[in-house]
Amino acid sequence: MKNQLSGLSISNVSKTYANGVQALNNISLNIPRGMFGLLGPNGAGKSTLMRILATLQDPDTGNIKLGNLNVLEQKEEVRKTLGYLPQEFGVYPKVSAEALLDHFAILKGIAKKGERRDIVEALLRQTNLWDVRKQRLGGYSGGMRQRFGVAIALLGNPKLMIVDEPTAGLDPAERVRFLNLLSELGEQSAVILSTHIVEDVAELCTNMAIIRKGQILLEAEPLTAVNELKGKIWRRMIEKSALQEIEQQYAVISTKLLAGRTVVNIYSEHDPGNGFDHVEADLEDVYFCTMAGYYGKGSAKKQEGS
Protein backbone atom coordinates (compact mmCIF):
# COMPACT_ATOMS: atom_id res chain seq x y z
CA MET A 1 0.00 0.00 0.00
CA LYS A 2 2.90 2.34 0.65
CA ASN A 3 4.01 2.22 -2.98
CA GLN A 4 0.43 2.58 -4.12
CA LEU A 5 0.25 6.04 -2.57
CA SER A 6 3.75 7.23 -3.40
CA GLY A 7 2.84 10.34 -5.41
CA LEU A 8 0.31 12.27 -7.46
CA SER A 9 0.43 12.39 -11.25
CA ILE A 10 -1.74 14.88 -13.16
CA SER A 11 -1.84 14.44 -16.95
CA ASN A 12 -3.45 16.73 -19.55
CA VAL A 13 -6.30 17.94 -17.32
CA SER A 14 -8.66 20.54 -18.79
CA LYS A 15 -11.86 22.10 -17.48
CA THR A 16 -14.23 24.59 -19.12
CA TYR A 17 -17.32 25.81 -17.29
CA ALA A 18 -20.78 26.17 -18.81
CA ASN A 19 -20.31 29.96 -19.12
CA GLY A 20 -17.36 29.38 -21.45
CA VAL A 21 -14.59 30.15 -18.95
CA GLN A 22 -11.66 27.77 -19.42
CA ALA A 23 -10.39 27.26 -15.88
CA LEU A 24 -7.73 24.65 -16.74
CA ASN A 25 -5.94 24.16 -20.04
CA ASN A 26 -4.03 20.88 -20.43
CA ILE A 27 -2.49 20.82 -16.93
CA SER A 28 0.24 18.23 -16.23
CA LEU A 29 2.14 17.98 -12.92
CA ASN A 30 4.00 15.39 -10.87
CA ILE A 31 3.71 15.93 -7.11
CA PRO A 32 5.95 13.88 -4.79
CA ARG A 33 5.79 13.56 -1.01
CA GLY A 34 6.52 16.81 0.79
CA MET A 35 5.27 20.37 0.42
CA PHE A 36 4.26 21.36 -3.12
CA GLY A 37 3.30 24.97 -3.81
CA LEU A 38 0.78 25.88 -6.50
CA LEU A 39 1.30 29.60 -6.94
CA GLY A 40 -0.82 31.95 -8.99
CA PRO A 41 -3.11 34.98 -8.89
CA ASN A 42 -6.78 34.82 -8.01
CA GLY A 43 -8.71 33.33 -10.92
CA ALA A 44 -5.73 31.36 -12.23
CA GLY A 45 -7.50 28.00 -11.88
CA LYS A 46 -5.97 26.88 -8.58
CA SER A 47 -9.23 26.22 -6.74
CA THR A 48 -10.70 24.38 -9.73
CA LEU A 49 -7.71 22.04 -9.79
CA MET A 50 -7.90 21.55 -6.01
CA ARG A 51 -11.60 20.62 -6.21
CA ILE A 52 -10.86 18.13 -8.99
CA LEU A 53 -8.05 16.55 -6.95
CA ALA A 54 -10.39 16.40 -3.95
CA THR A 55 -12.90 14.41 -6.09
CA LEU A 56 -15.50 17.20 -5.79
CA GLN A 57 -15.46 18.05 -9.48
CA ASP A 58 -14.70 16.23 -12.72
CA PRO A 59 -12.43 17.58 -15.48
CA ASP A 60 -13.51 17.54 -19.11
CA THR A 61 -10.39 15.64 -20.13
CA GLY A 62 -7.25 14.19 -18.56
CA ASN A 63 -6.06 11.60 -16.08
CA ILE A 64 -5.04 11.79 -12.41
CA LYS A 65 -3.30 8.99 -10.52
CA LEU A 66 -2.57 8.84 -6.79
CA GLY A 67 -0.01 6.05 -6.82
CA ASN A 68 -1.96 3.21 -8.43
CA LEU A 69 -5.36 4.77 -7.71
CA ASN A 70 -7.31 6.44 -10.51
CA VAL A 71 -8.57 9.62 -8.86
CA LEU A 72 -11.36 10.12 -11.39
CA GLU A 73 -12.67 6.54 -11.30
CA GLN A 74 -11.87 5.36 -7.75
CA LYS A 75 -13.18 8.34 -5.81
CA GLU A 76 -14.22 6.45 -2.68
CA GLU A 77 -10.79 4.83 -2.36
CA VAL A 78 -9.09 8.18 -2.92
CA ARG A 79 -11.25 9.88 -0.27
CA LYS A 80 -10.07 7.35 2.31
CA THR A 81 -6.53 8.68 2.01
CA LEU A 82 -7.32 12.34 1.29
CA GLY A 83 -7.37 15.41 3.54
CA TYR A 84 -8.88 18.61 2.15
CA LEU A 85 -8.93 22.10 3.65
CA PRO A 86 -10.86 24.37 1.25
CA GLN A 87 -10.41 28.12 1.06
CA GLU A 88 -13.65 28.63 2.97
CA PHE A 89 -15.33 26.04 5.15
CA GLY A 90 -18.28 26.37 7.49
CA VAL A 91 -18.34 25.47 11.17
CA TYR A 92 -21.17 25.30 13.66
CA PRO A 93 -20.45 28.39 15.79
CA LYS A 94 -22.22 27.12 18.92
CA VAL A 95 -20.47 23.72 18.96
CA SER A 96 -17.12 23.07 20.64
CA ALA A 97 -14.08 21.99 18.63
CA GLU A 98 -13.91 18.71 20.54
CA ALA A 99 -17.55 17.82 19.86
CA LEU A 100 -17.46 18.73 16.18
CA LEU A 101 -14.20 16.91 15.54
CA ASP A 102 -15.68 13.84 17.22
CA HIS A 103 -18.68 14.12 14.89
CA PHE A 104 -16.42 14.29 11.82
CA ALA A 105 -14.49 11.28 13.10
CA ILE A 106 -17.74 9.30 13.16
CA LEU A 107 -18.46 10.37 9.59
CA LYS A 108 -14.95 9.24 8.66
CA GLY A 109 -15.84 5.75 9.89
CA ILE A 110 -14.05 5.74 13.24
CA ALA A 111 -16.80 3.92 15.13
CA LYS A 112 -15.15 2.85 18.41
CA LYS A 113 -15.64 5.52 21.06
CA GLY A 114 -12.31 4.95 22.82
CA GLU A 115 -10.33 5.01 19.58
CA ARG A 116 -12.19 8.12 18.47
CA ARG A 117 -11.48 9.89 21.78
CA ASP A 118 -7.76 9.17 21.47
CA ILE A 119 -7.64 10.37 17.85
CA VAL A 120 -9.57 13.57 18.62
CA GLU A 121 -7.24 14.38 21.51
CA ALA A 122 -4.13 13.68 19.43
CA LEU A 123 -5.31 15.92 16.58
CA LEU A 124 -6.33 18.77 18.86
CA ARG A 125 -2.94 18.62 20.54
CA GLN A 126 -1.14 18.45 17.19
CA THR A 127 -2.96 21.58 16.01
CA ASN A 128 -2.41 23.32 19.37
CA LEU A 129 -6.14 23.52 20.14
CA TRP A 130 -6.33 21.16 23.12
CA ASP A 131 -6.49 23.94 25.71
CA VAL A 132 -9.46 25.53 23.90
CA ARG A 133 -11.22 22.31 22.97
CA LYS A 134 -14.34 23.17 25.00
CA GLN A 135 -14.62 26.65 23.52
CA ARG A 136 -17.32 27.31 20.93
CA LEU A 137 -16.00 27.54 17.39
CA GLY A 138 -17.76 30.87 16.93
CA GLY A 139 -15.25 32.38 19.33
CA TYR A 140 -12.20 31.08 17.47
CA SER A 141 -9.84 33.45 15.65
CA GLY A 142 -9.13 33.00 11.94
CA GLY A 143 -5.93 31.12 12.64
CA MET A 144 -7.61 28.84 15.17
CA ARG A 145 -10.36 28.01 12.68
CA GLN A 146 -7.75 27.18 10.04
CA ARG A 147 -5.94 24.88 12.45
CA PHE A 148 -9.25 23.23 13.30
CA GLY A 149 -9.77 22.71 9.57
CA VAL A 150 -6.42 20.94 9.44
CA ALA A 151 -7.48 18.71 12.34
CA ILE A 152 -10.54 17.68 10.33
CA ALA A 153 -8.45 17.13 7.21
CA LEU A 154 -6.03 14.91 9.16
CA LEU A 155 -8.71 12.43 10.23
CA GLY A 156 -7.83 9.04 8.81
CA ASN A 157 -4.11 9.79 8.48
CA PRO A 158 -4.27 10.99 4.84
CA LYS A 159 -1.41 10.44 2.41
CA LEU A 160 -2.47 13.47 0.36
CA MET A 161 -3.36 16.84 1.88
CA ILE A 162 -4.89 19.61 -0.22
CA VAL A 163 -4.79 23.08 1.38
CA ASP A 164 -6.41 25.95 -0.55
CA GLU A 165 -5.36 29.56 0.27
CA PRO A 166 -4.72 28.72 3.94
CA THR A 167 -3.08 31.93 5.19
CA ALA A 168 -5.34 34.54 3.58
CA GLY A 169 -6.60 36.83 6.32
CA LEU A 170 -4.35 35.50 9.10
CA ASP A 171 -2.36 37.89 11.25
CA PRO A 172 1.46 37.42 11.21
CA ALA A 173 1.61 35.34 14.42
CA GLU A 174 -1.23 33.04 13.32
CA ARG A 175 0.36 32.66 9.90
CA VAL A 176 3.67 31.52 11.43
CA ARG A 177 1.93 28.95 13.66
CA PHE A 178 -0.09 27.65 10.74
CA LEU A 179 2.90 27.37 8.38
CA ASN A 180 4.88 25.52 11.04
CA LEU A 181 2.03 23.03 11.32
CA LEU A 182 1.90 22.51 7.55
CA SER A 183 5.65 22.02 7.47
CA GLU A 184 5.36 19.16 9.97
CA LEU A 185 2.62 17.54 7.88
CA GLY A 186 4.81 17.66 4.77
CA GLU A 187 7.28 15.29 6.42
CA GLN A 188 4.72 12.47 6.38
CA SER A 189 2.63 12.98 3.23
CA ALA A 190 2.20 14.94 0.02
CA VAL A 191 0.80 18.37 0.84
CA ILE A 192 -0.42 20.65 -1.95
CA LEU A 193 -0.45 24.28 -0.89
CA SER A 194 -2.52 26.41 -3.26
CA THR A 195 -1.86 30.11 -2.71
CA HIS A 196 -1.31 33.53 -4.26
CA ILE A 197 1.15 34.45 -1.48
CA VAL A 198 4.73 33.99 -2.66
CA GLU A 199 6.18 33.98 0.86
CA ASP A 200 4.15 30.90 1.82
CA VAL A 201 5.76 28.89 -0.98
CA ALA A 202 9.24 30.34 -0.37
CA GLU A 203 9.18 29.37 3.31
CA LEU A 204 7.60 25.92 3.00
CA CYS A 205 7.79 24.19 -0.34
CA THR A 206 10.48 21.96 -1.83
CA ASN A 207 8.68 21.87 -5.19
CA MET A 208 6.36 24.33 -6.87
CA ALA A 209 4.47 25.33 -9.98
CA ILE A 210 3.25 28.70 -11.20
CA ILE A 211 -0.17 28.80 -12.86
CA ARG A 212 -1.90 31.56 -14.82
CA LYS A 213 -5.13 31.48 -16.81
CA GLY A 214 -5.37 27.73 -16.40
CA GLN A 215 -1.89 26.95 -17.70
CA ILE A 216 1.30 25.88 -15.92
CA LEU A 217 4.00 28.44 -16.73
CA LEU A 218 6.78 26.97 -14.59
CA GLU A 219 7.40 23.79 -12.60
CA ALA A 220 10.59 23.83 -10.52
CA GLU A 221 12.29 23.59 -7.16
CA PRO A 222 12.11 27.09 -5.60
CA LEU A 223 15.83 27.28 -4.79
CA THR A 224 16.78 26.14 -8.29
CA ALA A 225 14.38 28.65 -9.84
CA VAL A 226 15.85 31.49 -7.77
CA ASN A 227 19.38 30.43 -8.70
CA GLU A 228 18.48 30.66 -12.40
CA LEU A 229 18.00 34.42 -11.92
CA LYS A 230 21.38 34.97 -10.25
CA GLY A 231 22.92 38.17 -11.60
CA LYS A 232 19.82 39.08 -13.62
CA ILE A 233 17.76 41.21 -11.22
CA TRP A 234 18.45 44.94 -10.94
CA ARG A 235 16.79 47.66 -8.88
CA ARG A 236 16.49 51.42 -8.95
CA MET A 237 14.44 54.01 -7.07
CA ILE A 238 12.74 56.54 -9.36
CA GLU A 239 10.13 59.23 -9.34
CA LYS A 240 6.70 57.90 -10.29
CA SER A 241 6.60 60.21 -13.29
CA ALA A 242 9.62 58.39 -14.80
CA LEU A 243 8.00 54.94 -14.69
CA GLN A 244 6.54 54.99 -18.20
CA GLU A 245 9.93 55.79 -19.74
CA ILE A 246 11.62 53.05 -17.68
CA GLU A 247 8.99 50.53 -18.80
CA GLN A 248 9.71 51.39 -22.43
CA GLN A 249 13.46 50.86 -22.01
CA TYR A 250 13.74 47.88 -19.67
CA ALA A 251 12.15 44.53 -18.82
CA VAL A 252 10.30 45.75 -15.73
CA ILE A 253 9.07 42.85 -13.62
CA SER A 254 7.72 44.64 -10.54
CA THR A 255 7.24 48.06 -8.97
CA LYS A 256 6.31 49.18 -5.48
CA LEU A 257 6.04 52.44 -3.61
CA LEU A 258 8.55 53.29 -0.90
CA ALA A 259 8.59 56.61 0.95
CA GLY A 260 6.71 58.34 -1.85
CA ARG A 261 9.02 57.07 -4.61
CA THR A 262 8.83 54.01 -6.85
CA VAL A 263 11.18 51.04 -6.52
CA VAL A 264 11.60 49.27 -9.86
CA ASN A 265 12.93 45.74 -10.35
CA ILE A 266 14.02 44.80 -13.86
CA TYR A 267 15.31 41.66 -15.56
CA SER A 268 18.57 42.02 -17.48
CA GLU A 269 21.28 39.50 -18.29
CA HIS A 270 23.84 42.32 -18.32
CA ASP A 271 24.50 45.41 -16.19
CA PRO A 272 21.90 47.91 -17.43
CA GLY A 273 23.78 50.88 -15.97
CA ASN A 274 21.75 54.08 -15.67
CA GLY A 275 21.68 53.93 -11.86
CA PHE A 276 20.43 50.34 -11.51
CA ASP A 277 22.00 48.26 -8.73
CA HIS A 278 22.28 44.48 -8.73
CA VAL A 279 20.15 42.74 -6.08
CA GLU A 280 19.92 39.11 -5.01
CA ALA A 281 16.96 37.38 -6.63
CA ASP A 282 14.21 35.82 -4.54
CA LEU A 283 11.10 33.76 -5.29
CA GLU A 284 9.03 36.90 -5.78
CA ASP A 285 11.34 37.81 -8.66
CA VAL A 286 10.88 34.30 -10.09
CA TYR A 287 7.11 34.75 -9.88
CA PHE A 288 7.05 38.16 -11.56
CA CYS A 289 9.59 37.14 -14.23
CA THR A 290 7.49 34.09 -15.03
CA MET A 291 4.24 36.04 -15.16
CA ALA A 292 5.87 38.64 -17.44
CA GLY A 293 7.31 35.95 -19.71
CA TYR A 294 10.97 36.75 -19.05
CA TYR A 295 11.97 33.71 -17.00
CA GLY A 296 14.29 31.46 -18.98
CA LYS A 297 13.81 33.39 -22.22
CA GLY A 298 16.31 36.21 -21.98
CA SER A 299 15.46 39.87 -21.71
CA ALA A 300 12.67 40.81 -24.08
CA LYS A 301 13.54 44.52 -23.91
CA LYS A 302 16.89 46.21 -24.26
CA GLN A 303 18.09 49.62 -23.24
CA GLU A 304 17.62 52.04 -26.09
CA GLY A 305 20.90 52.87 -27.79
CA SER A 306 22.78 49.92 -26.29
Helices (H) and strands (E) in the chain, counts: 10, 14
What are the extents of the domains in the chain? 3-220, 227-292
Contact between 218 and 209 under an 8 Å Cβ cutoff? The reply is: yes
Contact between 53 and 42 under an 8 Å Cβ cutoff? The reply is: no
Question: Listing from the earlier edge strand, what are the strands of the sheet with 233-238?
Answer: 251-258, 261-267, 233-238, 277-278
Query: Phi/psi at 122 (nearest 5 deg)?
Result: -60, -40
Kindly calculate the radius of gyration of the chain based on its CA atoms and give it in whole angstroms: 22
Ranges 73-82, 85-94, 112-121: which has the least confidence: 85-94
Which amino acid is it at 21? Answer: V
Query: Phi/psi at 26 (nearest 5 deg)?
Result: 60, 55
The listed CATH number (2.30.40.10, 3.40.50.300, 3.10.620.30, 3.40.50.880) that belongs to domain 3-220:
3.40.50.300
**pTM summary value:** 0.84
What percentage of the chain exceeds 90 in pLDDT? 61
3-state secondary structure of 59: coil
- For residue 259, give every residue at least 6 positions away whose Cβ sits within 8 Å of its Cβ, in sequence order, or none: none
Which amino acid is it at 83? Answer: G
Question: Mind listing the pLDDT tens digit for each residue in 158-206?
Answer: 889 998 887 777 788 888 888 888 888 877 788 999 988 899 899 889 9
206: left (phi over 0), alpha (psi -120 to 50) or beta: alpha
| pLDDT score of 1 more than 80 | no
3-state secondary structure of 205: coil
